[in-house]
Amino acid sequence: MSAPDFGSPPTDADAPMQRADAQRNRQRILAAARDLYAAGGLGVPMAAIARAAGLGKATVFRHFSTTSELIEAVFTEKMDAYLSATRVALGESDAWQGFVDYITMVCGMQATDRGFADVMITTFPGAESFEERRREAYEGFLAIIERARGTGALRADFVSQDLILVLFANAGVVSATATAAPDAWRRLLAHLIRGFAAPGVDVKLLPPPPDDEALSRAMARAAPLGTRDDMPAHHR
């Protein structure tokens, strides 16, 4: 009986094709993860990302051995933009306007991508370059605060920890209203900025609130399963 033919072993000539295939697979994984994270946050499992990419889970793990590695690869550009936002704000001649623009830009980045909303309030100790960008952005924000407080426009008791609270609050609103009232975060932010302004500082008019129907849909979506039928009719 003749030995089975398992084909020729890979040669150096096959290497460019294999590298091209690997690069295409990597891009498919990143594209799928980017879309799923944006829509559903960082809780999307690797298996779902593999299915969306049309690949096996083992292939995903060959490219990204941990979820943190994948998250870092997906959001590196956005973290660069986050860091860039501090530089833009520091370059603004009006320190108060630079502060307002920075807060607005960061909250807007959260609003357009639920995955990045999660990234903003989560640390990834194993992703060193990722966390370095976060540290630099934080240090830039400290300078933004000092400039704005120095003009007397920002309340003297505003501290850097307040930004974290803003991001937590905004992430919650974005998560609850993303489909029903996607601009609701702007109303929240306008109220917060009014609270951060020192007395006498001119602030922009509040944007309109979400309508009752939109908020009712958001509340129904946020209600725990099994309780939605118990909600008052005007809140369903």
Query: In degrees, to the nearest 5, what angle opens at C-alpha 106 toward C-alphas 102 and 110?
Result: 165
* Residue 54 identity: G
List residues bridging with 197 in a β-sheet.
154
Per the CB < 8 A criterion, the answer to whether 68 and 122 are in contact is: no
- Domains in the chain (CATH in brackets) are 16-65 (1.10.10), 75-235 (1.10.357)
Which long-range contacts does 43-46 make (Cβ < 8 Å, 24+ apart)?
43/118, 46/70
Of 161, 156, 160, the closest CA to residue 142 belongs to: 160
d(CA 229, CA 167): 31
> What 3-state DSSP class applies to 197?
strand
Task: Kindly give the parts of the chain with pLDDT less than 50.
Answer: 1-8, 225, 227-228, 231-236
Q: Encode pLDDT of 144-199 as tens digits.
A: 999 999 999 999 999 999 988 998 899 889 888 888 899 999 999 999 999 999 99
Average model confidence (pLDDT) for the chain?
85
Enter the tokens of residue 111.
Answer: 């609003």
Of 188, 177, 43, the closest CA to residue 122 belongs to: 43
Enter the tokens of residue 161.
Answer: 């920890």
| pTM given for the model | 0.75
Phi then psi for 154, rounded to 5 degrees?
Answer: -95, 135
Query: In degrees, to the nearest 5, what angle opens at C-alpha 80 toward C-alphas 78 and 86?
Result: 110
d(CA 170, CA 19): 42
